[in-house]
Amino acid sequence: MAEDGPGGGAARYRGALHPDTWEEELEAIPMFMKRCPAEIDAERQPDLACLQSLLFDEEQGPAELAKMYKNEGNEYFREKDYRRAVVAYTEGLKKKCEDAELNAVLHTNRGAAQFYLGNYRSALNDAIQAKKLRPTHLKAIIRGALCHMELKNFSEAIAWCEEGLRIDSKEKKLVEMRAKADKLKRAEERDARKAKVMEKKEQCQKEILLAAIKERNIKLVLEPSNEEEEISDSLAELSIDGFHSDNATGAKVHLDADGNLHWPVLFLYPEHEQTDFIAAFHENSRFIDHLMVMFAELPPWDLEQKYLPSNIELYFEDEERAEMYKLNPEHTLLQVLQHQRYFVKAGTPTVLAFVKRSPFSKKYFSGKKVHRL
């Protein structure tokens, strides 16, 4: 009768399979393996390494070894294990056998595996190599055409399809793919033409807009920049990139049907660190008209209820000279923008709003020269 082991049960024979993990242990025995691992550790799997050595005996010729790797790759491919299939086909190609037909098949099969992995350029390279080795290899031509379709190289896809159809004019895959590639190519060319027309139209509109700004003697400043760059006489050189808007809505200056400019305008309230934004301020609109609308109701941050249209003063700041210019609220936006010291930065005119004779405004203006328009 067997003696009890440490666990209280019957003692196991040396090397016996554990009752809880016998399936995993059985899978590790070469004779019972369902699949061969991609990489074999000779120290941990000596039996398997020995069998592999026997299977891929270097005494066999390159062609025989390449065929073995091809068959191994085909098994992985059937199991949809495309990564291991690529490894196997690559090993077969490394044998550099002189059988062009076999090498063409290895390239074609590896290209198919790469294709299913989404590596379309690698798959295309394999198709090209296979076609060089065997120009009439239809599978390689079909694969190459499919790769060009995925890469949106429609002209090249059509050329590959036509090359294959010269070999077999009734090949259904090539006939259908050529028709699809031709349709997509035409759509792509149509979209490109539309984009070009739109680009030309936008460029024309930019030039008209810039001419309108130049005609009004409005000065623009390109940002970001370490130094202010005044744009006046050279407005025609300003690209749309210089017309970007820093405001949150992305609103930009534009011309209406009557040839009037509408500007995005930012109002700053330094005392409360608040802002207001008008997306389209008509150039002939007065500031007072906007103030009446903006402050028809007191803003929630004005706890002291001081921001009344009649109690607000508007300024713009000349940062270069550290000078302030007080605006007449009866003036229009255009009158302000045409001032010789006003510079429109980043396509968005900005004004500062203060409460008349407030302690904050007195402190803010301290050390700055104030001008009246």
Q: Give the CATH number of the domain where residue 360 resides.
A: 3.10.20.90
Query: pLDDT tens for residues 268-316?
Result: 999 999 999 999 999 999 999 999 999 999 899 999 999 999 999 999 9
The crossing angle, in degrees rounded to 10, of helices 82-94 and 62-78 is: 170
- Reported as half-sphere exposure (CB side, CA atoms, 13 A), residue 219 has a value of 12
Is-contact 49 28, C-beta < 8 A? Answer: no
Shared domain for 138 and 235, answered yes or no, is no
pLDDT for 230 beyond 60 = no
**Do 240 and 143 share a structural domain?**
no
Largest CA distance in the chain: 115
pLDDT value at residue 1: 37
Query: Could you tell me if residue 234 is inside a domain?
Result: yes
Burial class (CB in 10 A: 0-12, 13-18, 19+), 130: buried
Please tell me the pTM assigned to this model: 0.54
Give, in order, the Cα–Cα distances in Å from 370 to each of 108, 113, 313, 323, 337: 80, 76, 12, 6, 18
In a domain, 219, yes or no: no
As a whole number of angstroms, the distance between CA 163 and CA 208 comes to 51
Q: How many separate domains does the chain show?
A: 2
Q: Do 138 and 270 share a structural domain?
A: no
Same domain, yes or no: 136 and 242: no
Amino acid at 56: F
CA distance 275 to 292: 16
Q: Which of 105, 121, 151 is the last residue of a domain?
A: 151
Residue 197 lies in a domain: no
Model confidence at 34: pLDDT above 80: no
Question: Could you check whether the bond before residue 224 is cis, i.e. omega within 30 degrees of 0?
Answer: yes
Predicted confidence at residue 44, as pLDDT, reads 56
* Residue 13 located in a structural domain: no
Residue 234 lies in domain: 230-372
Last residue of a domain, which of 151, 176, 202? 151
**250 and 142 within one domain:** no
Q: Which of 151, 173, 191 is the last residue of a domain?
A: 151
In a domain, 262, yes or no: yes
> Would you state the structure tokens that stand for residue 271, as one six-digit string?
């005392």
Number of Cβ atoms within 10 Å of the Cβ of 168: 14
Asked whether residue 234 falls in the same domain as residue 368, the answer is yes
Please give the share of the chain, as a percent, with pLDDT higher than 90: 69
User: Average pLDDT, whole number, for the chain?
Assistant: 84
Query: Does some domain include residue 324?
Result: yes
Read off the pLDDT band of 4 (50, 70, 90): very low
For the ranges 103-107, 219-223, 345-349, 361-365, the maximum mean pLDDT occurs at 103-107
Q: What whole-number distance in Å separates Cα of residue 68 and Cα of residue 88? A: 9
| Any domain includes 202 | no
- For 68-121, write each residue's pLDDT tens digit: 999 999 999 999 999 999 999 999 999 999 999 999 999 999 999 999 999 999
Look at 102 and 38; give whichever has higher pLDDT: 102
* Residue 205 in domain: no
